[in-house]
């Protein structure tokens, strides 16, 4: 055919070309498989897309921008690192996958911190990285790196989109990849998935973008894994044999309690049935739930800091049952390693299970809600147990209750150091800010001291405050952007970020976008350096502390507030704080920054007073 065409006169070749062009069959774009990606995403119910400008990604950008399902819903964030954390915040708030789109080269690398965080927090992200065609990789072409499997072990999977989809099988393959990637982001445990999409020029279509309406959609419907009656009976009998039972709830346990409420958990009477002790970090969102606060301990940081070895031995569990992901409390982790339980059960439906406390004995493979309900149905109610066993359980709970009461006195007693006219410092200000937050606040905690202070102080009760923190990798690099994403996802809900100065200034590009966040409030604790290193053992004893650990800086947030149109409240006294808090937290007025100026040495001195008060309370 090629030889025939070459021998055909020019006019005849022109006629052949015109005949093919004027065919009654519609002209199908060479990018049709790429243009179908938004259609497949929309059919799967994905509503949120965050993209950063770029040329190589133009076919993807235009396909989403022109799709009816995404009109007015796309968010453009120029800084890819901020964009990825904003997407993470949206996915945290909505509990649905969010799509990320970037151009080729280092753009995708800038997603990496948020991708790692999403992996360890089990947050669903679909990452679409535009790329050069495979033949141009390693050929010194511009904006070209090795993008295949860009995130390595920190993504659930990485797919290579076919560079040529003109063949029907290749187009089918491309659609299958997108379906599989979307399903995989949500399959337990959820997480980030990359699809690397090689694109050839031209990028900018001259014809109208058409979305196939017969795209293939593959849905994954997983049945809930149930515990069979034999295993339930075995676990119930083991449970009944222990007197000192401790439940510990890590990050993302809050949904468990919502599910129990929906299943009429009150019919089971958790404490009366199990006779156990329940402990939860602030990020577990267990202790902030009013329904469960009365049976849950949340001041374990103070308890562990104050208790002697003899007192800790009395708190040691025989059976440890864990649910959820990471813990903030280093002291609780150390306690459970130093005083290991005889049995440690972890309830998790799927995925790797870490042996965090070095005493893991049983992994119960089911949804945590189903696992707790299974135990509730399998164990003997405490009042039906033999009297000796019942007394032993009551004594164990009483030991924890007494320790928690002593911890609460450190914070709330009339003569406590938090109420006795202390010097103006970040720990006390944090305490007052927490007490003044509005009901139903989404509270984001930046890494470093903000998350630690809050875990010590506990979440105020009766306000249904939900806590978020990037404790998958515990980095400071995207804390502000994640809170911005939450504010964008739930504009009707107050979103508060508690952050330190280093984390805040590191992530200022979180505000570099064109979308209003009137519900966002940022409480910035500015001690002009990495003050955490004055509070933790190790660096604070070193003569090189100031030069090599504290990250001294002279910045304030005033210019940032001005640049991005945020209200600005500078505060350096209790009088200024009391005047600012009601106005700052009110839903009216728009996004704002409350900058708390404190002295690092004053903060360190107060923290030493706090440590002494804890020791005194437990003496």
In tens, the pLDDT along 365-389 reads: 999 989 999 999 999 999 899 999 9
Dihedral angle computed from the Cα positions of residues 427, 431, 432 and 436, in that order, rounded to the nearest 10 degrees: 140
Least confident of 1-15, 184-198, 233-247, 274-288: 1-15
In tens, the pLDDT along 416-475 reads: 999 887 889 999 999 999 999 999 999 999 998 999 999 999 998 888 899 999 999 999
pLDDT in the model for residue 3: 35
Integer Cα distance of 69 and 205 in angstroms: 20
Q: What is the pTM of this model?
A: 0.90
Task: Please give the distance of CA 584 from its chain centroid, rounded to a whole number.
Answer: 25
Average pLDDT over residues 554-559: 95
Report residue 551's pLDDT band, with 50, 70 and 90 as the boundaries: low
Burial of 19 (0-12, 13-18, 19+ CB in 10 A): exposed
Q: How many CB atoms lie within 10 A of CB 211?
A: 18
pLDDT in the model for residue 533: 57
CATH topology for the 26-198 domain: Rossmann fold (3.40.50)
Average pLDDT over residues 337-356: 96
Average pLDDT over residues 514-530: 93
Of the candidates 489, 478, 484, 568, the one whose C-alpha atom is nearest the C-alpha of residue 520 is: 484
Average pLDDT over residues 388-399: 96
Q: What contacts 456, CB < 8 A, 6 or more positions away?
A: 299, 301, 302
Structure-model confidence comparison of residues 335 and 203, the more confident one: 335
Task: Please give the distance of CA 160 from its chain centroid, rounded to a whole number.
Answer: 27
pLDDT in the model for residue 8: 38
Residue 332: helix, strand or coil by DSSP? helix
Tokens of 143: 């904006």
pLDDT in the model for residue 461: 83
Integer Cα distance of 2 and 19 in angstroms: 17
Q: How many CA atoms lie within 13 A of 600 on its CB side?
A: 23
Integer Cα distance of 391 and 382 in angstroms: 10
Statement: residue 51 has pLDDT above 50 = yes
pLDDT in the model for residue 184: 97
What is the average pLDDT value for the chain, to the nearest integer?
89
Is the sign of the CA dihedral 470, 458, 353, 486 positive or negative?
A: negative
Least confident of 9-18, 44-53, 173-182: 9-18
Integer Cα distance of 499 and 447 in angstroms: 7
CATH top class, domain 426-618: alpha beta
In tens, the pLDDT along 65-109 reads: 999 999 989 999 999 999 999 999 999 999 999 999 999 999 999
Identical fold, 229-403 and 426-618: yes
Report residue 225's pLDDT band, with 50, 70 and 90 as the boundaries: confident
Domains of the chain: which residue ranges?
Answer: 26-198, 229-403, 426-618
Statement: residue 599 has pLDDT above 50 = yes
Q: How far is CA 177 from CA 37, 158, 223, 597, in A?
A: 10, 10, 23, 51
Range list of β-strands (E), 343-437 = 343-347, 362-364
pLDDT in the model for residue 10: 44
pLDDT in the model for residue 195: 98
Average pLDDT over residues 290-308: 82
Structure-model confidence comparison of residues 530 and 196, the more confident one: 196
pLDDT in the model for residue 17: 40
Average pLDDT over residues 130-140: 92
Structure-model confidence comparison of residues 508 and 530, the more confident one: 508
Query: What are φ and ψ of residue 50, in 5° steps?
Result: -120, 125
- Range 229-403 has CATH code 3.20.20.140: no
Average pLDDT over residues 347-357: 94
Statement: residue 130 has pLDDT above 90 = yes
The bridge status of strand 442-445 relative to strand 466-469 is parallel
Cis before 154 (ω within 30): no
Cis before 189 (ω within 30): yes
Range list of β-strands (E), 70-167 = 74-76, 98-102, 125-131, 157-160
Q: How far is CA 517 from CA 94, 434, 493, 590, 593, in A?
A: 16, 21, 10, 7, 12
Report residue 259's pLDDT band, with 50, 70 and 90 as the boundaries: confident
Length, in residues, of the chain: 619
Residue 194: helix, strand or coil by DSSP? strand
């Amino acid at each position: 055919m090629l030889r025939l065409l070459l021998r055909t006169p020019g006019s005849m070749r022109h006629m052949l070309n015109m005949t093919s062009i004027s065919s009654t069959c519609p002209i199908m774009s060479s990018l049709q498989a790429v243009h179908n990606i938004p259609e497949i995403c929309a059919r799967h119910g994905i509503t949120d897309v965050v993209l950063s400008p770029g040329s190589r990604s133009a076919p993807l950008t235009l396909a989403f921008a022109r799709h009816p399902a995404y009109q007015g819903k796309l968010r453009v964030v120029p800084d890819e690192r901020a964009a990825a954390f904003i997407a993470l915040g949206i996915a945290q708030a909505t509990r649905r996958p969010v799509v990320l789109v970037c151009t080729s080269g280092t753009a995708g690398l800038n997603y990496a911190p948020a991708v790692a965080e999403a992996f360890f927090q089990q947050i669903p992200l679909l990452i679409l990285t535009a790329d050069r065609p495979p033949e141009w990789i390693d050929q010194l072409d511009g904006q070209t790196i090795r993008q295949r499997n860009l995130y390595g072990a920190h993504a659930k999977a990485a797919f290579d989109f076919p560079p040529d989809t003109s063949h029907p099988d290749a187009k089918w393959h491309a659609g299958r990849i997108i379906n599989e990637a979307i399903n995989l982001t949500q399959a337990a445990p959820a997480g980030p998935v990359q699809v690397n999409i090689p694109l050839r020029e031209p990028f900018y279509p001259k014809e109208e973008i058409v979305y196939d309406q017969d795209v293939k959609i593959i849905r994954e419907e997983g049945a809930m894994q149930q515990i069979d009656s034999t295993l339930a009976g075995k676990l119930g009998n083991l449970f009944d044999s222990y007197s000192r039972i401790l439940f510990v709830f890590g990050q993302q346990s809050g949904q468990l309690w919502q599910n129990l409420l929906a299943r009429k958990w009150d019919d089971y009477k958790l404490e009366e049935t199990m006779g156990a002790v329940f402990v939860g970090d602030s990020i577990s969102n267990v202790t902030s739930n009013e329904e469960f606060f009365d049976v849950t301990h949340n001041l374990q940081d103070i308890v562990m800091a104050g208790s002697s070895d003899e007192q800790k031995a009395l708190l040691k569990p025989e059976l440890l049952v864990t649910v959820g992901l990471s813990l903030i409390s280093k002291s609780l982790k150390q306690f459970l390693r130093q005083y290991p339980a005889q049995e440690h059960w972890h309830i998790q439906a799927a995925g790797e299970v870490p042996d965090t406390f070095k005493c893991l004995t049983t992994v119960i493979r089911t949804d945590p809600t189903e696992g707790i309900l299974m135990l509730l149905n399998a164990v003997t109610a405490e009042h039906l147990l033999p009297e000796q066993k019942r007394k032993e359980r009551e004594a164990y709970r009483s030991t924890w209750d007494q320790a928690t009461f002593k911890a609460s006195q450190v914070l709330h007693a009339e003569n406590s150091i938090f109420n006795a006219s202390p010097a103006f410092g970040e720990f006390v200000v944090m305490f007052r800010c927490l007490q003044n937050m509005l009901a139903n606040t989404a509270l984001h905690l930046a890494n470093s001291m903000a998350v630690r202070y809050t875990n010590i102080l506990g979440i105020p009760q009766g306000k249904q405050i939900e806590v978020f923190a990037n404790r998958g990798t515990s980095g400071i690099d995207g804390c502000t952007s994640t809170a911005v994403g939450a504010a964008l996802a739930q504009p009707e809900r107050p979103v508060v970020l508690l952050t330190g100065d280093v984390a805040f200034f590191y992530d200022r590009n979180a505000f570099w976008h064109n979308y209003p966040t009137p519900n966002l409030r940022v409480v910035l604790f500015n001690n002009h350096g990495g003050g955490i290193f004055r509070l933790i053992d190790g660096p604070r004893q070193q003569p090189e502390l100031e030069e090599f650990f504290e990250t001294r800086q002279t910045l304030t947030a005033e210019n940032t507030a001005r640049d991005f149109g945020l209200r600005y409240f500078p505060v350096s006294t209790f009088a200024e704080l009391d005047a600012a808090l009601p106005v700052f937290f009110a839903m009216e007025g728009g996004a704002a920054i409350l900058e708390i100026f404190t002295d690092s040495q004053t903060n360190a001195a107060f923290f030493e007073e706090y440590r002494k008060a804890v020791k005194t309370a437990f003496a």
